[in-house]
Amino acid sequence: MHSTHTHRIMHSLARAAATLAIAFAFWGQTQAALANADDESQGRAILERMLEAHGGLNRFQSFGTVTYHTDGLPYSAAAPLTFDHVADLVTRRHRMDGFSSTGSFVAGANDDIGWTTNPDALGIAPRWVNHGNSYFALMPFVFADPGATVRFVGERIYDGNAYDVIAVSFASGVGDTFEDDYVLYVDQSTHRLRLIDFSVTYGPMRGDTPIDELPRRSLEFTQWQVAEGLLVPAVLQYGPWQRTAGGGRRSEPGVQYTISNVQFSKARPDAALFDAPDGAHIE
């Protein structure tokens, strides 16, 4: 009898302990979910303030075309590249007309392909450089694209100053490089974008390198300009990036390039402008 009673007590205690363990596990998961939701809420709030500080997302989305001139783009084996760029802001089709030290080129990207008239003069995958250079030129507005997840990382130090830092990632299948991740340093007083820390995961450029072994890069926005009420990049500093416990730093001085003559218009460009001409190299 005594043995049976003791067994029942032990069994009850074991059940109580199991129930308590489940409760603690559920509590831990709930707390983690709440913390994650809070990070996302804070991140979204910082992003929205940043977009307003740069002229507003509604204003940006009201335009159908952007054109601009870039001098000294460093992302190429034939760098620096100098070119005029036109983009359809609705379809995100692109075209570049320019030159490098090895000759002139025309390059474009439409729905499925990238193309160029002179691969040697371009020196880089035409689809990536069309999308990539315009992506940087249109920051920070591109971080409001559908499929983007934003979360608050915390306060970080760069160049002796504290910044609010948010991380932006993308849902699987969103764009050509949905595995890209961007870490944004946002000025706490002006709410303007100061710098991004990122990696390039585009297949033809990444090769077989695992994502977690890809080098980090940085792009610092050192000067801005106003175009149709939007604050967009004018001078950018590109270079390798080294993450640190409190933030990060450029591990080399990097290379500067400029964007000028930025023009937005309501009308959209002729779709034929982005078609590959006969004889073009198709990526």
- Cβ-proximal residues to 245 (8 Å cutoff; 6+ apart), any chain: none
8 or 60, higher pLDDT:
60
Mean pLDDT over 132-150 rounds to: 92
pLDDT more than 90, % of the chain: 61
pLDDT tens figures, 68-120: 999 999 988 899 999 999 999 999 999 999 999 999 999 999 878 999 999 99
β-pair type (193-198, 217-227)? antiparallel
Q: Which band of pLDDT confidence, cut at 50, 70 and 90, is reported for residue 146?
A: confident
pLDDT score for 213: 60
SS3 158: strand
pLDDT tens figures, 158-216: 988 999 999 998 765 544 444 568 999 999 999 999 999 988 665 444 455 566 667 78
Q: Which band of pLDDT confidence, cut at 50, 70 and 90, is reported for residue 37?
A: low
pLDDT score for 14: 60
Strands (E), 135-254: 148-158, 161-170, 182-187, 193-198, 217-227, 230-244, 247-250
SS3 211: helix
pLDDT score for 62: 98
pLDDT tens figures, 210-219: 666 677 889 9
16 or 67, higher pLDDT:
67
Instruction: Judge whether residue 226 has pLDDT over 70.
Output: yes
Closest by alpha carbon to 123, among 169, 186, 73? Answer: 73
pLDDT score for 71: 98
Instruction: Judge whether residue 7 has pLDDT over 90.
Output: no
66 or 205, higher pLDDT:
66
With 0-12 / 13-18 / 19 or more C-beta atoms within 10 angstroms meaning exposed / middle / buried, residue 261 is: exposed
Q: What are phi and psi of 19, to 5 degrees?
A: -65, -40
Structural domains of the chain ordered from first start? 57-282 (2.50.20)
3-state helix, strand, coil in the chain (%, to 5): 30, 40, 30
Instruction: Judge whether residue 220 has pLDDT over 80.
Output: yes
pLDDT score for 231: 98
pLDDT score for 253: 81
Most confident of 13-17, 207-211, 245-249: 245-249
Indicate the pTM of the whole model.
0.82
- Average pLDDT score, the chain: 85
Tokens 């335009």, located at residue: 63
